Each structure stands twice: as C-alpha cells, then as structure tokens.
Amino acid sequence: MTPVFVTLLVFACFALGYRFYARFVGERIFGDRDDVATPAHTHRDEVDYVPTDPHVLFGHHFTSIAGAAPIIGPCVAAYWGWLPAILWVVFGTLFMGAVHDFGALVISAREGGRSIGDIAAKVMGKRARILFLCFVAAVVWLVLAVFAMAIAGLFVSTPSSVLPIQSEIVLAVIVGWLVYRKGVSPLWPSVVALVVLYALVWVGTRVPIDLGALGVADPRTAWLIFLFAYSAVASLLPVWLLLQPRDFINSHQLVVGLVLLFVGLFVAHPEFDAPAVRVGADAPSVFPLLFVTIACGAISGFHGLVSSGTTSKQLDRLAHARTIGYGAMLGEGVLALAATLAAVAGIALVGACELPSHGAVADLGWATYYDTWSHAGANKAAAFVLGGGAFLEALGLPTDLARTVMAVLVISFAATTLDTATRIQRFIVAELGEAIALPVLKRPTVATAIAILPALALCFGETTDAAGQTTQVGWVLWPIFGASNQMLAALTLMVLALYFGAKKKPVLPLVIPMLLVTAVALMALLAKLEQFLAMGDDMLVAVTVVLLAMVVWMLTEGAMALRRRPGAEADEG
C-alpha cells in the first residue's frame, strides 16, 4: 500500500461521509434545515454579530480551527507508525470531530450565539455553567500561551517568514475595507492578496527580518509582546475588518498549499519510510496517548469554542451550518493527513537539514527523526516543514523557498488560532462575569486584558521540566492540554446530547463518541497525574487534580440532568 493509494482512499471516505453521514445527523438530530433566524440577524451589531457570506465564513471558521495543532499532533504521533495515525484521523474526523463541530455551531445558532459553556446552564444548571466556563478559560489560556511561544520561536528560527506574515495583516485590512465599505466581491481581492503574499514569501527568503541581527537583545520576548498586543487589538476590532478577510486569505493559502502538497506527493510517489505500526518502542503506550496527541486533527474541544464563540455569531442561515461545521472539519482532517504523510513518507526525500533535536543532519529519514520519543516531541512541526517542503521540491521549487512556504503556512494558522482564541476568551470572561454577577468582566477591554495577561504570565514564568531543564511554565503545562482538550470535546457532546435528547432526537451518534472520548481523556489525565507524581512536580500535580475534579463534577451534573424528566428545564442549581 502506497501513500498515494492511502490518500485517494481517505478522500473517498471523507466525500462519502459528507454526502451521507453529515446529512443524517443534520436532518435527523440537529434540524439544520429549519427556518430559524440566526443571531447574526437578531443580535446584529456590526462588530461581533455580522451576517456573513458562507464562503467567507467557511474560510474564517476553517482557518480558526486549523491552527498548528493538526500539524504538530500528527507529526509527533507518526512515532507509532503511519497506520494508527491515519485511522484515527479518518474515523475520528468523520464520526466524532465533524459531528461535534457541526452540533456546537447549530446549538449556538439556535440559542442566540451563546457559547457551549453558557448553554450548559440550560441543560444542567448554573453550577455546571460556571464550572464549564472556568474549565474552558483554563484551556484557552494554555492555548494562547503555547501558540504565542510557538510563533515567536518560528519567527526567530525562520526570519524569512516574518515579512509575509506581518504584511498579511495589512492586506487583510485592505480586503475587509474593500468588501464591507466599497461593496467589492470578496473573492478577487482575497486572491490578489494571496498572490501578493506568495510574492512576499519569495522576498522574505531574500530579505529575512532577524531582530537579533537588528540589535534586539531578546528577539523572542519582543515577538511575544508584539503577538499579544496584536491579538488584543484584533479581538476588539470589528470582525469584518481583520479576522474575516485575513482568514479568507488564509483559507485560500491553505487550499493552495494542500493542493501543492498532494500534487507533489503524486509526482514524487514516495514509499512509506515508516512502518505501519511501531512495536517494541521505548515510548508511552499508543493507547490512550495517540488519541490525545492527535486532537485537532480528529476531534477537539477547542473547535466547539470557535463554532459557538465566533462562527455562530456570523452565520447568515442555519442551512449553512452543515458545510461550515462538518465540512471545515473534513478540511482539517485533510490537513492532518498531509502532515502525517509528510512525516512518514516525505521525510525520506529530505537531504541535509537542521532538527531541533539533532542539530545538523546530513541525510534525514524517519528512523533518524523518530529515534526516541523525546526527540519526536522536541521536533514538533519540523517534519511537516521538511517533508512537505520535499513534496514541493518535487514540483521544482527551490529548497529554501519550499520550506519557507511550509513555515509560513504553519505560522499563518497558528496566528489565526491565537487571535481567534483571544476573541473567544473575551466572550468567555464576559459570560463568566454574567454568571457570577460581576458586570465589570463584561466590559470588552477588561475582558480582553483578563484574556491575555494570564497567558502572558505562562509565557514568561519559568519552571523546571521533566529533564531538569529550565523552561516556560506554558510548555511544562502543555502535556495536559491534549487530554483537557479532548475532555472539553466530550463535555460539549454531553451538552449536545442532553439538549437534543430533550427534543426527542436520536442522540446515539452523540452519546457513543462522548463515552469513548470521555474514557480516553480520563485515562490520559490519570496517566499524566501518575507521571507528575513520580516526577514530584507539585504544580503539575495540583493543576491536573483540579482539572480532574472539575471534570468529575461536570459529568456528575450531566448525570443528574439526565435523571430529570426529559424536556424539563434544568434547575437553577
């Protein structure tokens, strides 16, 4: 079996899934063809609530969920071989992740644009709402910290990516102004902007922007401050001015990048350099760790926050939810597939390169890149940049340009997640302020400050990692994110099941994934707790225990809600 054959098989599965399964859950459970006025119209304010062309909104949603995680996760999980990763990407996406995202979008659109955490109050009670919002806030702070650190690191290590990434902000504002103030169709300005972006990628390889060479003493810190300042401003600007057009440009960039990757795969026609399943490796067990390592490429609780946090507020018609919710997750599955193939096949085409774990390598291969589990984690997305770059080289692109294109792709989507997460966190803080009767938290500037300051502290705070090295608190806490993110997805599915179950809908397609993901996430959190206890790291132990306690409490609230009379409103807690 070759990578090309596997690719065609996965494409066929995704097409059939959208044609049949998305239609089934949409019509039988979610009622996505009902004539319901969406919050973009009922709450229209031209800042957060804006009726949006479905193609533009698809681009915004797609790039918001398709951050760096569906690239990094598969690149690490390739340690276990190519078969487990691809199977989880396919079946997780079709029957869990896409249903989760689709349902979160529909339920929020039906409930006035409220977040999943806020809707939890309706089906479980006020206690669950506060717990859910606190759990979400903790996860999002960690996302903000780690993505900011990852982007800052890439700016330092790949200075050729700085010019195109920063220029895209200006291009997005111009596109937004043309579309919403001059009435220009969004397609052509965004296509022109994409062409300019790729031209700037080439310029960036010739004129890299290295802050260290320009005299900045600590370039990484400077980039971190810039990134959080940008995210704060972007989260407060009208969504049509920056986020929508920037994400529309990025959606074109992602489509072009994926097309080039897969065409390069077909041209190069490599064999798998990795075994189908790695056995006897000195690494954590494939179960349950694989299922939390590849989170966003299969199912991710963060996606439910995007669906119910920003996308639902821009949905013009409920009928668009299937394409945007289910369809965008299939697109993310394709991205996770591309990352996996780059790691298990494209990597064999790479010659000389630099690896975070090894330094200079004369001739790269899967066995070198994945020689140990710690090296696989340290290398993060390097397999995508190098292996994907090798696919582009098969189309005739120079090595430095091919790798810069891949690096810009990774940074673009990490940055998209960063500012979308900041906006979502602002909504979460405001909802929490409403839940605990603290109106000051509902002020946009106050909510934004609370959204970014704890994340900034995670970036600058230092502690000791498992190897005894000094590192940022955010990186040390990151291992908990995968399990917490999956647990958030399970809790979202629980809210969906209770909500639509009260409406007498067939909720088994929601309950089965919920139970599976809950089991996996709890096992992963308990495994992490055991590891942290053995390390003697009190901070990690305390954080994990608090998260576990919140999860158990929310599951208990869900069980209590299930025992109530079907259709009855939740008590007020």
Task: Pick the closest to residue 186 from 176, 198, 195 (CA basis).
Answer: 176
Q: Helix, strand or coil for residue 462?
A: strand
Each residue's pLDDT, cut to its tens digit, for the chain (573 residues) gives 899 999 999 999 999 999 999 999 999 999 999 888 999 999 998 888 999 989 889 988 988 888 777 888 899 999 999 999 999 999 999 999 999 999 999 999 999 998 888 888 888 877 888 888 888 888 889 888 888 888 888 788 788 888 988 898 899 999 999 988 888 888 889 889 989 988 988 898 888 898 888 888 889 899 999 999 999 998 898 888 888 888 888 888 888 889 999 999 999 999 999 999 987 767 778 888 888 888 888 999 989 989 998 899 999 999 999 999 999 999 999 999 999 999 999 998 988 888 888 888 888 889 888 888 888 888 878 889 899 999 999 999 888 888 888 888 888 877 778 888 898 899 889 988 988 889 999 999 999 999 999 999 888 877 766 666 677 777 777 767 778 888 899 999 999 999 999 899 999 999 999 999 999 989 988 988 888 888 777 777 888 898 888 888 888 888 888 776 554 444 433
Q: In whole angstroms, what is the distance from residue 508 CA to residue 500 CA? A: 11
- Supply 353's token pair: 């390169």
Cβ neighbours of residue 485 closer than 8 Å, sequence gap 6 or more? 139, 292, 295, 296, 300, 301, 302
Structure tokens at 106: 């529909």
* DSSP-H helix ranges across 207-356: 219-236, 243-268, 286-293, 301-309, 321, 328-344
Choose among 205, 219, 190: nearest CA to 389: 205
Distances (CA, A) of 192 to 28, 58, 186: 41, 19, 10
Confidence (pTM): 0.87
Closest by Cα among 232, 203, 188 to 450: 232
What are the distances in angstroms from CA 431 to CA 127, 212, 443, 488?
13, 41, 11, 17
Sign of the CA dihedral running 171, 176, 177, 182? positive
Structural domains in the chain plus CATH codes: 3-563 (1.10.4160)
Q: What is the CA radius of gyration of the chain?
A: 22
According to the model, what pLDDT value does residue 468 have? 67
Residue of 1, 86, 3, 11 lying closest to 390 (CA atoms):
3
CA-closest candidate to residue 89, choices 105, 79, 78: 78
What gap in Å lies between CA 481 and CA 63, rounded to an integer?
20
16 contacts: CB under 8 Å, gap ≥ 6: none
CA angle, residues 110, 112, 117, in degrees to nearest 5:
90
